[in-house]
Amino acid sequence: MRVVAYSIRSYEKELLAKANQKKHDITLISNRLSLETVSYAAGKDAILVFTNDDVSAPVIDKLADLGIKYIGTRSVGTDHIDREAAGKRGMKIANVPSYSPQAIAEHAITLALALSRKLIPTVDQSRIFDFRIENHVGFNLYGKTVGLIGLGHIGQAAAAIFKGMGCRVLGHDIDYPQNLAGVEPVTLNELLQKADIISLHLPLTSENQYLINQETLSLMKNGTMLINTARGGLVKTAEVISALESGKLGYFGTDVYEFEKGLFFSDHRSDIIKDPILFKLMSLPNVIVTPHQAFLTQEALNQIAAQTISNLDKWHQNKCVGKACACAKQCKVPSELLNP
């Protein structure tokens, strides 16, 4: 297949080439997909994108006009793709349904540990040879109640780690997994009211956008820690900032940001005007922001590359991509081509 891959980073090139084995003609470019860069897809059959790319309806229409039939995203989430628009144009969509859930889960726990032990201010202070410890009193995770919202592969991996650290683990999911040991199923309100630490592990949908808002924050204990390694749109950032400033929310660790598109994955040091909401958020001492890097482990990157090429292979063979199929209803593959 003839393919252009957008938003390619240096760490992906070798892995994609190794997985591809010259089966597909893939052009790797660092440019983010947008209305201005859609022309790079001319003459191609498929495009590969990432979470920061603009795969909105106007872009999809231009892609379809250029002859693009397939959109593969190098991510689990597909909220950056207008699936309905793609369906109307008969375009197939594939994602990476699962890759090293431990990578994301471990990053969530890393954020929680760093916040609980005040590691960032401690390291900053130590770098200037100030080794006083009076302001760095933390707390144990052992014995704390952790609430996990979303219990897919990543949520379950996080549950196992928190459980192993001696935490009581509560879980909420609209499609609660069967036979999940060590996690107490609860309603969302019960989780919000009882948890000392809340960690988000669910995809972003129109139904759960801004799940964390003034109302849900008000249900939490004073001083609760909130961790988000899922999607920025799950959190109303301005209302989280207010909760942090009032002390209602004690800590916030996030790997994603509500307005990260066009911001994360790029160097913005020279920007004269910085994103004011993010600037305010990062100025708070009880906040850690990482730039959507929870997935960034060697193991996860290898699995993403392998699944991405596998999706192209199956499309080339006129087969369904099975569990990786993220097509809208309008672009379902004929039953005779299904190959789960």
What count of residues does the chain have? 340
What are the backbone dihedrals phi and psi of residue 195, each rounded to the nearest 5 degrees, phi first?
Answer: -80, 140
> Helix, strand or coil for residue 87?
helix
- Kindly name the residue from 12, 74, 231, 239 that is annotated as catalytic: 231
- Kindly name the residue from 12, 239, 258, 260 that is annotated as catalytic: 260
Query: String of b and e for 299-311 (b: at least 16 CB within 10 Å)?
Result: ebbebbbbbbbbb
Which residues, other chains included, contact 283 with Cβ-Cβ below 8 Å and sequence gap of 6+?
Answer: none
Which residues, other chains included, contact 289 with Cβ-Cβ below 8 Å and sequence gap of 6+?
Answer: 254, 255, 257, 278, 281, 282
Burial of 276 (0-12, 13-18, 19+ CB in 10 A): exposed
Strand order in the sheet with 2-5: 25-28, 2-5, 46-49, 70-73, 92-94
Do 170 and 126 touch, CB atoms closer than 8 A? no
Q: How far apart are CA 51 and CA 7, in angstroms?
A: 9
Q: Decide the pairing of beta strands 145-149 and 168-172.
A: parallel
Do 27 and 48 touch, CB atoms closer than 8 A? no
For 135-233, strand residue ranges (E) read 145-149, 168-172, 184-185, 197-200, 224-228
231 is catalytic: yes
- Ramachandran region, residue 182 (left: φ > 0; alpha: ψ -120 to 50; beta: rest): left
9 is catalytic: no
DSSP code string of 230-290: S-GGGB-HHHHHHHHHHTSEEEEEES--TT-TTTTTS--TT-SS--HHHHHHHTSTTEEE-
Q: How far apart are CA 279 and CA 276, in angstroms?
A: 5
Active site residues: 231, 260
